[in-house]
Structure 1
């Protein structure tokens, strides 16, 4: 039986939320520099009205102090009493924090975009995985689709065709041989066709990468009606190709199949990868955002093998190779600088 709700407790929670909202608005105005001398005086009066006001402001201000590693960029001495600083030093304090505000706003905007995309995928996908999740799907003909993190597919098996649409993410397909019924994976304006083989398809930002681990795969673009074009590119075992929407695949490169499929074994591998590329790859396996502050022009390529269960440790390890620090503001927001 549920316990009865305490109206006094609810009222107290409501007051605390309202107070936190007011305190947060003052922090934001101080951070952005959008505050006049009159408003600054009003702020001082508000803080002095009661210990509860001061405590609420301190809690909201502590949000910024959680970025302890950013001391060189955001000195805590500024945070200790920004009201005692002159207007010029106040502007410096405000500007230094504006980058963080912008970063947080971008993260919030991305969250809204992801929410919209998730609704679309929910309607179209037959199978999907969450961030950090892998799943093995048995297809209608007995073939296997290994879905990597944050992946969605739509399955359409009809007479004369086995068709998979990769809506998002990455998947390894183990194809059952059947020369009479081709197996096709459609993604970002192109398609990959196989008879009996194994290959990985990954789509991201309107670009698709096809990597073959067994047999040969024919890769082609689609015309305006969604039909395969006449020109196709043969990709053999240990090779891969890439194409963008509206363009046909042209080049074939050699790849290490074990690195490409490492995620199916619960690990992720890097071989002389640019630091930013490696961090972006790790970010695929954890919720939230990893934001790198500053110029990465001087960073060195990275190599390593990490478990998918230890992504946060991998982020720290790679940052250490560059002499960079990692600050986890929350489980969903990580800064590297």
Structure 2
């Protein structure tokens, strides 16, 4: 029996699969945002051990970069794997791939962008995490889920680069060194105030809870390049465009995440699911026909995101199917 087990453990197929599995493991770890310095050293050593390791890593990297189209095709692919004669072994490997894809945020993730953030950021959170950072002057930056910032303080300027995600800033007054947050081609400047900046895919949203800030886009092609935003107001801008005029907003609800909550207010179901998706590792994929769904609302806790997903889906008569801890379908 022992000889049989040894034979199985060193079978050619198992041996051939070991290097691709290791490459996939390192892709997931690098893209997760949680990799440690010790792991980075191990990764570099693994790459240097053999050109086969480098080639396997390159193949997996290209694969991950092409994963966006899988958002709509994952169910079909999974079914196909289930029907093949390889059975349990292939399904196991498929689950590894699915778990890895969604753990790395496969929809929309750009692998080298995450490596860039890892290298440039001073502080970073992963999906579902938050962190309160004490800045050099005693102010604070409250980092929301999946956020990265770089901090640069001089005698004349206090500058934060919001590289990704969302952060709420409580600013210590200092007229000699303006406080600036750069994101998506624009800069939000304040002397002493409290405000949040959310760097989204194609725009940035600035919400003020105290005082006033000035939002400037130096590359604006049309319209005034700056706008003032006061308490309980919000503006947004896209790269290369002027900030929109400030509008009134319930800022208390807008930053509910700083208190462990989330407010969904009359949003389309797809938008609500996308918002909830930010707060959990993995991916929520909406496959249901949403043409007849109504807007949804609700107040939830960040500790109960899965309950929120189920509750909102139920209001529309939809099913929630959990494939893995990292992959949820709305049907």
Q: TM-score, normalised by structure 2?
A: 0.71
Instruction: Find the counterpart in structure 2 of residue 158 from structure 1.
Output: 154
If you compute each CA radius of gyration, which structure gives the higher value, 1 or 2? 1
Alignment CA distance shift 1:58-1:151 (3 Å): closer
1:151-300, aligned counterparts within 5 Å?
A: 151-223=147-219, 231-300=225-294
For 1:142, what is the secondary structure of its paired residue?
coil
RMSD, matched Cα: 3.5
Distance 1:275 1:180 in 2: 46
Any conservation in 1 of the 2:288–2:318 contact (CA below 8 Å)? Answer: no
Show CA shifts across 1:134-185 (max 9, x none).
0000001111100000000000111211100000000000000111211000
Distance 1:12 1:109 in 2: 34
Distance 1:263 1:243 in 2: 22
Show CA shifts across 1:221-260 (max 9, x none).
0249xxxx98320001111000001111022221111111
Alignment CA distance shift 1:264-1:242 (3 Å): same
Is 1:133 aligned with 2:129? Answer: yes
Q: How many residues align?
A: 267
Alignment CA distance shift 1:283-1:10 (3 Å): farther
1:282-321, aligned counterparts within 5 Å?
A: 282-321=276-315
Q: CA deviation at 1:15?
A: 4.3
Distance 2:105 2:260 in 1: 31
Instruction: Find the counterpart in structure 1 of residue 87 from structure 2.
Output: 57
Structure 1, gaps ≥5 residues long: 1-5, 22-26, 33-42, 48-55, 67-100
Show CA shifts across 1:273-326 (max 9, x none).
111111000000111111011321211111111111111111111100100000
Instruction: Find the counterpart in structure 1 of residue 80 from structure 2.
Output: 31
For 1:176, what is the secondary structure of its paired residue?
coil
Structure 2, gaps ≥5 residues long: 18-75
Q: TM-score, normalised by structure 1?
A: 0.70
Distance 2:3 2:112 in 1: 37
Alignment CA distance shift 1:156-1:58 (3 Å): closer
Distance 1:11 1:137 in 2: 53
